[in-house]
Amino acid sequence: MKSGVVLRVYGDRALVRCGQELAELRPKGSLRKEGLLAGDAVEVLGEHIVTVRPRENELGRPPVANASILLAIAAVREPAVSQGDLDRMLLQSEAQQLAPLVVLNKCDLSTEDELAAYSRPYAAAGYPVVRVSTRSGDGIEELRHALPEGIAVLAGPSGVGKSSILRALTGEDVEIGRMTHKLQRGRHTTRAATLYEVSPGRMIADTPGFSDLDLPGVAPERLAQFYPEMEDLGCRFADCWHRAEPDCAVIRAVAEGRLDVGRYRRYLEFLTELEGRPRRWR
């Protein structure tokens, strides 16, 4: 019996890494109905996957199991990613209980003042921020060392450089690429998540389609829980929405300049957006 990690799933087959070996395997018995996900930790016997270990978490979009960190990819230029879009990515991270890491790409195209102004609210909120340029290679090693053990997923709008960052971190795993091409030939498939190794114990998921910047499905009264800088203020009103309530610690912090006014205004916009969604009652 061998232990392995599912790198990609193709219908009734999966690409699995067991140590230094790659193999195309089929799930056995009830696993065929239950389904596999990239990131699943499995036990292998012969040419079959016989056991899937309990998942720590499961993302629906992208379909990845056992992810631990989200890389929120942004840029100040070409294309400019609004801070509102970055806020949405971070809310996705918080809602799905993934450790967040802000990655500012294409930093060679921006001035120091622009980069500092963009990243300042996030650093102040406690989010780690790494600046990189895949064109020059600056910051790539810092980003590599910032990744913890486990599986990272990429998020960001089109054109921001997710694929370039993936290539820079992984060196394009040619062996996996060849196996992926072989498995896809001659069959109808949709693009699925694929795991690539950054270093032993650290993997990154190529997650096509994970550019959706919709707000997560949370109740509006819970939105402030996903803002670490608001939670740290410890507003004495447990049910405070931090919008117009008197003696609110968050409103006071904004007025005193201790809380970024841009982040707060976008919070209010998101709050209104969530209030406009139909409620789902159980």
What's 46's domain CATH number?
2.30.30.140
What secondary structure, in 3-state letters, does the chain show?
CEEEEEEEEECCEEEEEECCEEEEEEECCCHHHHCCCECCEEEEECCEEEEECCCCCEECCCCEECEEEEEEEEECCCCCCCHHHHHHHHHHHHHCCCEEEEEEECHHHCCHHHHHHHHHHHHHCCCCEEECCCCCCCCHHHHHHHCCCEEEEEECCCCCCHHHHHHHHHCCCHHHHHHHHHHHCCCCCCCCCEEEEEECCEEEEECCCCCCCCCCCCCHHHHHHHCHHHHCCCCCCCCCCCCCCCCCHHHHHHHCCCCCHHHHHHHHHHHHHHHCCCCCCC
Last residue of a domain, one of 162, 179, 206: 206
User: Residue 140 sits in a domain of what CATH number?
Assistant: 3.40.50.300
- 40 in the same domain as 167: no
Q: What CATH number does residue 234 fall under?
A: 1.10.40.50
Q: Convert the pLDDT of each residue in 233-282 to its tens digit.
A: 988 888 899 998 999 999 999 999 999 999 999 999 999 999 988 765 43
Task: Tell whether 40 and 69 lie within a shared domain.
Answer: no
Integer angstrom CA distances of residue 109 from 77, 82, 135, 226, 233:
7, 16, 10, 31, 36
Name the residue range of residue 74's domain: 64-206
pLDDT at site 75? 96
Same domain, 135 and 174: yes
For residue 183, the model assigns a pLDDT of 53
Q: Are residues 163 and 237 in the same domain?
A: no
Tens digit of pLDDT for each residue in 179-214? 555 555 444 344 578 899 998 889 998 776 555 677
10 and 103 co-located in one domain? no
Residue 202 located in a structural domain: yes
Q: Residue 214 domain-assigned?
A: no
Same domain, 80 and 162: yes
Task: Check whether residue 47 and residue 78 sit in a common domain.
Answer: no
**Predicted pLDDT of residue 29:** 83
* Residue 117 and residue 202 in one domain: yes
Q: Please give the Cα distance from 256 to 246 (Å, whole number).
A: 15
Q: Tokens 């060679």 appear where?
A: 108
Q: For residues 93 and 73, give the distance between their C-alpha atoms in angstroms, rounded to a whole number.
A: 12
What's the CA gap between 130 and 141, in Å, rounded? 10
- Rounded CA-CA distance 79/198 in Å is 26
Residue 212 lies in a domain: no
CA–CA separation, 149 and 133 (whole Å):
23
Same domain membership, residue 29 and residue 151: no
Q: Pick the last residue of a domain from 153, 171, 206.
A: 206
Quick: pLDDT tens for 75-105: 999 999 999 999 999 998 998 889 999 999 9
The total domain count for the chain is 3
Give the pLDDT confidence of 18-35 residue by residue, as tens digits: 988 999 999 988 888 788
Has residue 196 been placed in a domain? yes
Residue 168 and residue 234 in one domain = no
Domain assignment present for 211 = no
Residues 102 and 133 in one domain: yes
pLDDT confidence bin for 174, thresholds 50/70/90: very low
Domain boundary among 175, 206, 237: 206
* Domain assignment present for 282: no
pLDDT in tens, 109-161: 999 999 999 999 999 999 999 999 999 999 999 999 999 999 999 988 888 99
Do residues 130 and 101 make contact, with C-beta atoms less than 8 angstroms apart? yes
Is residue 47's pLDDT more than 60?
A: yes
Cα three-residue angle 262-265-268, rounded to 5 degrees? 150
pLDDT for res 216: 84
Q: Parallel, antiparallel, or unpaired for β 129-131 and 67-75?
A: unpaired
